[in-house]
Every structure is written in structure tokens, then in C-alpha cells.
Amino acid sequence: ELEALPPITQEFHSVLNKVCEQCYSDFAPDELEVGVREHILQDLEAFVRRQFAGARLQLFGSSKNGFGFRQSDLDICMVLEGQETIDDVDCISIIESLARSLKKHPGLKNILPITTAKVPIVKFYHVRTGLEGDISLYNTLALHNTHLLASYAAIDRRVKILCYVMKVFAKMCDIGDASRGSLSSYAYTLMVLFFLQQRNPPIIPVLQEIYDGKKKPEVLVDGWNVYFFDDLKTRWPQYGKNSESVGELWLGLLRFYTEDFDFREHVVCVRQHARLTTFNKQWTSKYIVIEDPFDLNHNLGAGLSRKMTNFIMKAFINGRTVFGTPVKVFPPAYPSQME
């Protein structure tokens, strides 16, 4: 049922490559914008500490993982000094009182506590920058997976560019909004990383499988092992063996997920190089299965309806045709809401 693709010329590869590079330079924030985010964070922390004396605020998600857009939301995690964890009841009451307090902040609007979600948050809108954000409490695993993603991004420039391209593609195809039943940016980023680990030769290693000695070190957070190799000064043995361009890799990714990867059988799993099966995980009733790198009970595709799954798969199949067929007029313009 997949269309046969014509042979790809060197020339077309270089067009593809330009499109990918362009996408990155169009959407990556500059240092100034990174500084603005830190500034907002510090201001918020100072404000919150007037009511919660021991409060510490930290950015995570795309403000920190290396794949942020200029307009990406501010994901913020709050903890209280000297307190290790928090129970659900306290969490909801703190979220509610945090919301009441933030309503008095002159620079914020649209304060909205959401206490029914799996992770309770307070949403806000930062008037001067037009950025949206949310504050969650003790979202510790998210801090660790942000650090993991940032470490992969730092290994090779192509990782970063491909993750941007993937996010733009997901937004353009309307398959990248978890709050509307599709997959989150985080899920698509994991798909890119998995592809880059499985490529031969690989572009990136499996950082959770690199360690000295026989046994993997154990660093437990919320009962899960969050250890990974994060010494970025040490180059891994296969570094630089793969010299494909970003353009080749992008088409390679679309082909991988439409031609090679068997979603019925296998799990998108970045924590080990060996293929993990949906049968191993007892996740056979779902078609797209993406395992969280730390919370191994968490399938990021769990919330997908059958209809949405088909819609996502069709987007990949169309993407393969669009990016795999040399044309004269290229690239297609971004939709206006992304600019």
C-alpha cells in the first residue's frame, strides 16, 4: 500500500537538508530569549516566596531540553525546601492557594488552577512576553527526563535539528497536541531519539546503558531508576561514524516509521538498544506504544484513540511521500500560526 519512492538524487538530499536547517534557524530561540525565560522564573520565584517561604522554582521541558520554540510554554516545577515529597491532598491545596496568590501578580493574567489532571498545575499568561506557562509541584521525573533530552541534544547538532523538524511537522499536520487527543512534543522527541539510536551506524548511544562495571548504577526517584551517563566530555566509541546529513536522516526517519518499524510488535523505547516488544510490556492493545525512559509503566501513546492513531500514521505516510518525492517548488510554507 506504500507508494514506491523514486531514487533520491544528491541534489534533492541537499534541498531536504536546507529545508531542515532552515526550519531550525526559523524557530530556535536566541540567547536573549533564553535569558528572558530565566528572568521570568526569578521574578516568579521571588513573588511566590512571599507566601511560601521555602519555595524553589525550576524550568523544565523545552525551555531547558534544547528543543524550545520562541513561543513554547514555560514549564515550571515548584518544590518546598526541606520537604522531599508531597501527598495528593496537600498538592491540590497548595495549587489552589498558589493560584490565589498569583492572581495578585501584576504581570500575569488568566490564572487557572487545574486540580483534576494527573499532574495538578496552575496555568498563567505572562502579559509582557505573551508566553503561557504552568507550575506543577514535585514533578521530579520531568526534571530528570528534561536533563536526559538535553544530554542527547548536546551530543550531535543533528539531534537538535531533527527534533525541531519533527515538532514543526507535528504541528503542521495537527498531530502534536496532547490536550486534544494526539501525542505531546515529548513523545515525538522520544521517537526521534529512538530512530537515531537504531540507525546504523547510530547517531547517538543509549545513555541509560552506558556505565562502568557490571551493574547499572541505581538512582531512585519516585521508585524509578533515573541513572544515565551524562558525562558529555567523554566521547562514546561510535561518535562521528555516521556522516548522513540532516536531510537524509529526516527522510530516513519518515521511512523508518512507515516501512521498517512494526508498531504492532515493538515499543519505541530509548532506554535500551535491544528491541522491546509490546508483548513484553503487555501493551498489545495499543498500536503506538512509546515507553517513558524512566517511568516504565507510562505509555505515552496510551491516550490515543483508534481514529487519532490512524490520523497520525497517515501524516507519516504523507510526509514520506512529500519529502521523498523531488519537486521544483520547495519547501511548502509554514502555516501562519507558527510564525
> Which residues of the shown chain bind Mg ion in the complex (CB under 5 A)?
61-62, 73, 75
- CA 141, 144, 146, 149 dihedral sign is negative
Using CB under 6 A as the binding rule, whether residue 156 contacts ligand ATP is answered as no
Q: Pick the piece of the chain touching ligand ATP (CB under 6 A) from 44-52, 54-62, 225-233, 252-260.
A: 54-62
Determine the Cα–Cα distance for residues 46 and 56; give it in Å rounded to an integer.
9
Using CB under 6 A as the binding rule, whether residue 69 contacts ligand ATP is answered as yes
**CA 38, 130, 303 angle in degrees (round to 5)?**
85
Residue 14 in grid coordinates: 541537499
Which of 24, 33, 34 lies closest to 169 in space, CA to CA?
24
Residue entry with cell 487527543: 181
Using CB under 6 A as the binding rule, whether residue 68 contacts ligand ATP is answered as yes
Using CB under 6 A as the binding rule, whether residue 291 contacts ligand ATP is answered as no
Tell the smallest beta-carbon distance from residue 61 to Mg ion (Å).
4
Using CB under 6 A as the binding rule, whether residue 60 contacts ligand ATP is answered as yes
Number of H helices, E strands in the chain: 9, 7
Among 94, 276, 300, 315, indicate the residue that binds ligand ATP (CB under 6 A). Answer: 300
Rounded alpha-carbon distances, angstroms, from residue 51 to 79, 100, 197, 305, 331? 13, 11, 46, 42, 51
Tell the smallest beta-carbon distance from residue 74 to ligand ATP (Å).
9
Q: Is 57 helix (H, G, I), strand (E, B) or coil?
A: strand
Using CB under 6 A as the binding rule, whether residue 62 contacts ligand ATP is answered as yes
Please, are residues 266 and 181 in contact by the beta-carbon 8 Å criterion? no
Q: Which does 27 bind (CB under 5 to 8 A by kind): ligand ATP, Mg ion, none?
A: none
Parallel/antiparallel/unpaired status of strands 55-60 and 121-126? unpaired
Nearer to ligand ATP, 49 or 298 (CB): 298
Residue nearest to ligand ATP (CB): 61
Tell the smallest beta-carbon distance from residue 135 to Mg ion (Å).
12
Please report, as ranges, the residues that interact with ligand ATP according to CB under 6 A: 60-62, 65, 67-69, 72-73, 75, 142, 145-146, 184-186, 292, 298, 300
